[in-house]
Amino acid sequence: MKKKALGLLLAAGGAVTFSSSVLASFDMDDCRWGTEGCMVTSPPILDSAHDTRDNLIRLVGEKTGLRLPSQPDSIDERKTRSYYFASHYLPEYIDNLVKEANEAAATAVAVVGDSKLALGDAAVEVTNEVTSITAPVIPKKKPAVYEQANAIGISEASLDEFAKQEDSLETRYISNNLESVHLFYTALLDDNMLTEQQRQPLAALRLKIDGSADMQTQLLQLVLEENSTAALFRDYLLAANAFYGGNYDSAFTTFSELRKSKQPWIAETASYMLMRVELNRSSDGDTGEFGDFNVDSVHKEAAQRARQQGILYLQKWPAGLYASSARGLFRRIDWYQGDWDQLALDLEQALKHPQDADALQKLVAEADHKLLSSDYYRKGAVFMTAPDAPQLTFIQTLRLMRNFPCTDNNVCVDQVYLDNIKPIFEKGQALPLWQYLTLWLAYQHQDYTTIMNTIKPVDLLPEHDILAFSQQAMIGNILMTKDNWPVAHQFWQHLLSISKSKEQQQYIQGMLAGVMLYEDKADQIFAADSPITNLNYRSITLKTVATPELLRQQVTNGMNSEEQTIALHTLLIKDLIAGRYGDWLQDKKRISQLTGKIDADHFRDVDLNVFNWKGEQTETGYYCPTLDNIVTTLSVHADDSHALNCLGEFFRTTDASVSQSEADEKTLALGEALEHVKDNGTPDRQSYYMQVINNPQTEPEDKSFALYRAVMCYAPSGFNDCGGIDQEISVRKGWFNQLRKEFPGGIWTRKLKYYW
């Protein structure tokens, strides 16, 4: 096997032309970063080409002890192809959704008049104009605020109506949600100075807060004894409504008075709200031409007043209800004021102690949006370093190293640059991070001798040390870049044996499998003692480069029913495509050997039932027998026109092919090794039609159908969807005219109105 130039994940820093888009983090279309259940997609190494957020969450996350949104150990990589490094959701997340939906569907009932209709797994449509159920509804546990509302005398319907607005909340209204209502109701219930008659109207009015003048009037009309606790809660609602209405002067005045209150919740909340009043005042009306937020127009003095109010709040309530939020608002103030050093310091500190995994993801996204990639999002200056933030400086330097080779008018990271930022890492006791950057720079310049003299293979590998693992991976990539396949094979196999992390092990398997292919030893991937157990890697190899002999071997000796099914489906499709019709008849008998069950939903691309095709789906007007009969005929007469047309119909109506339906593009060195392989798993129906058209022995019925279908290969887009070499439009026009000339008035002539 000839080696293709390696573009491995530890390649030269993503050697691409530098631009703002290159520096940006990468959003996925179908699984956006930070979405519930969406995994970190980059392999478990630090790489300048990786999403900045992936690099950051891996670097800081392993020190927190929190479970990161990465590949979980619970995945059985032998039986599923879902363990790969690309955009996709956590399997257990999807499984839970399916389980909850099935449970809901099994227990849900639809009330139709006075009767009840039990719902099974399938959706039920009721057509008597009473109701229509098209999908099971997953029941969710009601938030605690519903119990509080019930205790106060507020209906669930009122809360439901209030909750409908949450998805559309933004700007200062963002906190007018069920969580803030929950805090207000908690305070009402905890205060023994309130009567039931006072709690109920206060609770009801809280749900109506919308910033309007009408709401302000309703609050003022609420008759309460002045200087009472109930009056304090009403005044709080007046201030909150003024805040949501953008009347910051009135809100500030009232909250300032309430901060002196002896009612503890009101005093603390009012103090916190003073910070939010000034912060919202600082950004009021600061939108760009297209409605986007313009941070350059922020009123710096108001932002500074917000900082001062936040300091006062934290001085009195350092562990208060809103302490975490206040610290987060400090970071927003840093951003508003363009104080990058302080913002980096605040983010670096926050990343050390996240509340939970979800909070960590949000912090990483904030760091990327507000600091690391702010030049991309807002087209401003590039953040480069901060004196007290070695981790963020490290991640950003990796990002800047995408500019290699260096282009004009952009930041260029060279040794001088790294030497200048070294004190940041020395001060922060993070010198190993700086040393990794120097190694990465050497890798970019192909100074492999320096790297090999600096990093040595190890016999022990910490489970949670991405820096150490990334260095070892760098050695393996250098060995592959030098085409030193036997040594690279030995290195990756040794690294696999000492790795304690399943995610690392799956990464190593992808690299080792690639080495085996570069060595022309694909069969080693399937040896009895093979260290490659990842079904996704094995599946891709079987579908792409396995010989018929190897496929037959794995039908019998595959490590499980899933692999045996993949091997047999691939073998049967390729038998047909290659015209090995006699082999296909024998190989199909192997289906009966597979007695194990597999998850059909996850292996639809290798459904063996497709080969039981009965010919019933062909276009009306053209008869085809079963696939067995078609292939039997072709095994005797490989040029039989009717059988070739029907084989084309089998492929057309079933879309049967050797498809790489899983993440074959993100298979590390294995994917690189397979890039040069010409796809031979796609049928070429067009060649069947052309063979039939050019065969002088073809019957008129078969020839006219072949001409029709040959032209239809390009309908309606003009692009060929039948496989094979694209034919010029003059050729397609020739088929069209030939059909009209030779078969005037025929069924296929009447049906074909155009050529494409």
Q: Tens digit of pLDDT for each residue in 605-659?
A: 999 999 999 998 898 999 999 999 999 999 999 999 999 999 999 999 999 999 8
Nearest alpha-carbon partner for 71 in 53, 91, 97: 91
Q: State how far Cα 581 lies from the chain centre.
A: 42
Average pLDDT over residues 75-85: 92
What is the rounded CA–CA span in Å between residue 421 and residue 418? 5
Mean pLDDT of 596-611: 93
Contact 707, 739 (CB under 8 A): yes
Mean pLDDT for all residues in the chain: 87
Identify the top-confidence range among 135-144, 282-291, 302-311, 404-413. Answer: 302-311
pLDDT of residue 30: 61
pLDDT at residue 27 greater than cutoff 50: no
pLDDT > 70: percent of the chain: 88
pLDDT, position 133: 30
Out of 16-30, 370-384, 498-512, give the one with best mean pLDDT. Answer: 498-512
Q: Which of 132-136, 234-238, 511-515 has the lowest mean pLDDT?
A: 132-136
Give the phi and the psi of residue 498 in degrees, each rounded to 5. -105, -5
Q: What is the model's pLDDT at position 229?
A: 95
For residue 728, give the DSSP letter.
P
Give the integer Cα–Cα distance in Å for 160 and 738.
Answer: 68
Cβ atoms within 10 Å of 651's Cβ, excluding its own: 21
Identify the sign of the CA torsion 374, 380, 384, 387: negative
Using CA atoms, how far residue 96 sits from 37, 126, 358, 495, in Å, is: 10, 28, 18, 34
Give Cα separations from 409 to 295, 397, 403, 594 (angstroms).
Answer: 24, 17, 11, 62
Rounded to an integer, what is the distance from CA 626 to the centroid of its chain? 42
Q: Read off the pLDDT of residues 698-707 as tens digits, 9 standing for 90 and up.
A: 999 999 999 9
Work out the pLDDT band at 21, boundaries 50, 70, 90: very low
pLDDT in tens, 95-148: 777 777 777 666 554 433 433 333 333 333 322 222 233 333 444 678 899 999
b vs e for 475-502, b when ≥16 Cβ sit within 10 Å of the residue's Cβ?
bbbbbbbeeebeebbebbebbbeebebb
Give the integer Cα–Cα distance in Å for 495 and 643.
Answer: 53
pLDDT of residue 287: 53
Quote the pLDDT of residue 409.
74
Categorize the per-residue pLDDT at 286 as very low, low, confident or very high, splitting at 50, 70 and 90. low
- Going from the C-alpha of 151 to that of each of 141, 188, 199, 397, the distances in angstroms are 18, 11, 10, 55
CB neighbour list of residue 202: distance below 8 Å, 6 or more residues apart: 188, 194, 222, 230, 233, 234, 237
116 backbone dihedrals φ, ψ, rounded to 5°: -120, 135
CB 136, CB 103: distance < 8 Å: no
pLDDT digits 0-9 by tens, 264-276: 999 999 999 999 9
- Alpha carbon 395 to chain centroid, angstroms: 21
Using the predicted structure, report yes or no on whether residue 10 has a pLDDT greater than 80: no
Residues contacting residue 78 through CB under 8 Å, at least 6 positions apart: 533, 534, 535, 559, 560
Is the pLDDT score of 568 beyond 70? yes
Cis link prior to 405 (omega < 30° from 0)? yes
Q: Distance (Å, rounded) from C-alpha 224 to C-alpha 246?
A: 26
Least confident of 132-136, 201-205, 441-445, 467-471: 132-136
- C-alpha 722/C-alpha 738 separation (Å) is 20
Residues contacting 233, CB < 8 A, separation 6+ = 187, 188, 194, 198, 202, 263, 266
- Pull the structure tokens for residue 64: 């927190």
The pLDDT assigned to 756 comes to 77
Core vs surface per residue 718-750: b (16+ CB within 10 A) or e: eebebbbeebeeeebebbbebbeeebeebbbbe
